[in-house]
Amino acid sequence: MKTKFKVCIVSAEMAPFAKVGGLADVANSLSRTLASMGHEVSVFVPRYGFLDAQDMGMKRVKLNGEVRVRLGNDTKSVELWQCSLRGSKAAIYLVANDYLLGRNGVYGDPETRYDYADNALRFTFFSRAVLEIIKNLSLRYDVIHLNDHQTGLIPLLMKEEYASEKALASAATLFTIHNLGYQGVYPREMLEEAGLPEELAYAMGPLEFWGKVNFMKAAIVYADIISTVSETYAKEIQTGQEYGCGLEGVLKARSEDLFGVLNGADYVTWNPSTDRYLAYKYGLSNVKDKAKNKLHFINKNRLSDLTQQSFLMGIVSRLADQKGLDLLEAVADELLAMDAGLAVLGTGQQRYHEFFTRLQERYPGKVSVSLDFNEKLAHVIEAASDVFLMPSRYEPCGLNQMYSMRYGTVPVVRFTGGLADTVKPYNPTTGEGTGFVFHDYSTAALMDAVGAAYGVFQDKERWERLMKNAMQEDFSWKRAAKGYVELYKKAVGRKCSAPFADWVYSVSEKAL
């Protein structure tokens, strides 16, 4: 059995090139870690308009003749660029087409925050372009590792259209679900526009979803192996509509091939003792210095109702319903009635932009809100806060709670997905545990958890022990990458070959 793999990771996001959420961090850390373990790693990401060739040291890759991707009646040209990932042997390929991918945003217009209306075409193009490039350059991979719906057509195209292409025929596929709340569901008309096989969109078929087209469903049906980013989420998404978001049937039909691998945390970027963004660096041996960051933050943001003794709650998040922000909205006044402040960094739904703006206006001495995407401020808030709030409605994995723990910032989380798998509930009798965990999705349960944290916070000794427990947790990427290597082995072993129609039919039957 092979122990070293040639892996091709395909993702719409990858730090430091393009980041909207945790997917970007995962693409970076996973490729880095796999490469450091001796695997041969290539990553394909779109070349967005905000990526500067010179800044990034990008070089144009010469393809064998002109490469064009057919989209319905049209064809679009493909350019390929390459650059390196600092400190890593992983090769980064940037797929370019100025019109479709070279825009200022990843998924939508940064000004209006609306998704681009042609995302179905943009990511069909990206998926097809990746396959055309592999074919054109005769690249050989053991495994093609796809991430989220933007790359969901690749397993389907590989089996339905590229099965006899030498470069692709031998590669197995792994599809990782980072968030089932975003499935890439588009109107049926896009099939013709994008030149996708309409015959696969029959009722209950692999591309069909309530009369529409669903990229994520296609990947779940066609990938050799499927994974998601925590074990609990892998179970939750098979239980019903709430977590499965309508795909629970197909997921259940493939449950033997569906695994959970918990993400890791990048402790080079997220290390309070070396963090260049912090006014005061600190670690286990000088944990008391963490409080200096809080005071610095309070003074800098003129939070005049707070002192170093106040309880500072931090949030760094996409501002989306997923993150449980409606609960927070309902209890905000009650929370701020304590000797407590709130530091918020995020962008997302208009509703939460308005809520946090109003909250800051009402509590100028206690609340600091930045409706922005700001790498530095994310680190500053992690270091300054006493607790980190993540009352998520659902959470496939979540990275911020892991970063928080390393920063001695005690997480207050709901028991779901990766939050359930990473935060150990504080036990007041033994002093063990790493955070505060609540179960019901309710304001009362959230208030109880924050109240419990506030209570322990008043006892400096107990709180310091709790901080130290959290700081010593280790969610290294090495463990996660090993988990993926196991899945690559499985994918290679289970690669499904023709006649493929029977396979698709049997998955659809089981999903009924």
* Interacting residues with ligand GLC (CB under 6 A): 21-23, 26, 178-179, 229, 263, 395-399, 418
Decide if residue 181 touches ligand ADP (CB under 6 A).
Answer: no
> Which residue shows structure tokens 């969610």?
475
Count the site residues for ligand ADP by CB under 6 A.
17
Q: Which region among 109-117, 351-359, 395-403, 483-491 touches ligand ADP (by CB under 6 A)?
A: 395-403
417: closest CA among 163, 165, 180, 71?
180
Minimum CB–partner distance for residue 268 and ligand ADP (Å): 13
Query: Is residue 460 within 8 Å of residue 309, measured between CB atoms?
Result: no
How far is residue 430's CA from residue 238's CA, in Å, rounded to a whole number?
35
From the CB of residue 241, how many other CB atoms can be counted at a distance below 10 Å? 10
Pick the closer one to ligand GLC by CB: 296 or 318: 318
Q: With respect to ligand GLC, which residue has the nearer C-beta, 397 or 504?
A: 397
Spatial contact of 8 and 141, defined as CB atoms under 8 Å apart: yes
Would you say 173 or 317 has its CB closer to ligand ADP? 317
Contact call for residue 347 and ligand ADP (CB under 6 A): yes
Q: Is 444 exposed, middle or buried (0-12, 13-18, 19+ CB in 10 A)?
A: exposed
Q: Which of 195, 324, 346, 411 binds ligand ADP (CB under 6 A)?
A: 346
Question: Looking at beta carbons only, is 27 or 306 nearer to ligand GLC?
Answer: 27
The answer to whether 88 contacts ligand ADP (rule: CB under 6 A) is no
DSSP 424: P
Min. distance of Cβ 298 from ligand ADP in angstroms?
20
Nearest distance, CB of residue 339 and ligand GLC, angstroms = 31
Residue number with CB closer to ligand ADP (7 or 15):
15
CA 199 to chain centre: 32
Determine which helix (DSSP H) or strand (DSSP E) holds 268, and give its type and residue range.
none
Which of 316, 320, 373 minimizes the C-alpha distance to 342?
316
Name the minimum Å distance from CB 227 to ligand GLC: 10
Which of ligand ADP, ligand GLC, none does residue 345 bind (CB under 5 to 8 Å by kind)?
ligand ADP
- Are the beta carbons of 500 and 163 closer than 8 angstroms? yes
Can you tell me which of 155, 195, 398, 417 binds ligand ADP, judged by CB under 6 A? 398
Contact between 316 and ligand ADP per CB under 6 A? yes
Whole-angstrom CA distances from 26 to 16, 123, 169, 431 are: 11, 20, 27, 32
Q: Are 370 and 353 in contact (CB under 8 A)?
A: no
Instruction: Tell which residue, 488, 394, 430, has the closest CA to residue 171.
Output: 488
Q: Which does 317 bind (CB under 5 to 8 A by kind): ligand ADP, ligand GLC, none?
A: ligand ADP
Whichever of 46 and 398 has its CB closer to ligand GLC, that residue is 398
Q: What are the distances in angstroms from CA 74 to CA 69, 129, 186, 247, 501?
A: 8, 14, 19, 32, 28
CB of 253 to ligand ADP, least distance (A): 26
Q: How far apart are CA 424 and CA 435, in angstroms?
A: 6
* 374 binds, options ligand GLC, ligand ADP, none, Cβ within 5 to 8 A by partner type: ligand ADP
Among 119, 214, 317, 422, binds ligand ADP (CB under 6 A): 317
The answer to whether the beta carbons of residues 191 and 201 sit under 8 Å apart is yes
Among 361, 375, 459, 502, binds ligand ADP (CB under 6 A): 375
Name the residue nearer to ligand GLC (CB basis): 191 or 225: 225
Could you count the other beta carbons within 10 Å of the beta carbon of residue 108? Answer: 16
- Please give the residue whose beta carbon sits closest to ligand GLC in the complex: 22
Which residues lie across from 68 on neighbouring strands? 77
Asked if 412 is part of the footprint of ligand ADP (rule: CB under 6 A), the reply reads no
Rounded Cα distance between 76 and 125, Å, is 8
Which amino acid is residue 245, in one-letter code?
Answer: C
Q: How far is the CB of 316 from ligand ADP (least distance, A)?
A: 5
Residue 275 contacts ligand ADP per CB under 6 A:
no
Residue 229 binding: pick among ligand GLC, ligand ADP, none (C-beta 5-8 Å cut-off by kind) = ligand GLC
Please identify which residue in 232, 400, 416, 422 interacts with ligand ADP, judged by CB under 6 A: 400
CB 155 within 8 A of CB 218: yes
Residue 21 within binding range of ligand ADP, rule CB under 6 A: yes
- Nearer to ligand ADP by Cβ, of 121 and 262: the residue is 262
Terminal Cα distance for the chain, rounded = 36
Q: Identify the residue among 8, 11, 25, 48 touching ligand ADP (CB under 6 A).
A: 25
Of the pair 195, 417, the CB lying nearest ligand ADP is at 417
Identify the three-state secondary structure at position 410. Answer: strand
Q: Which is nearer to ligand ADP, 267 or 373 (CB)?
A: 373
Report DSSP letters for 193-243, one per residue: HHT--GGG-STTSTTEETTEEEHHHHHHHH-SEEEES-HHHHHHTTT-HHH
Binding site residues, ligand ADP, CB under 6 A: 21-22, 25, 316-318, 345-347, 373-375, 378, 397-400
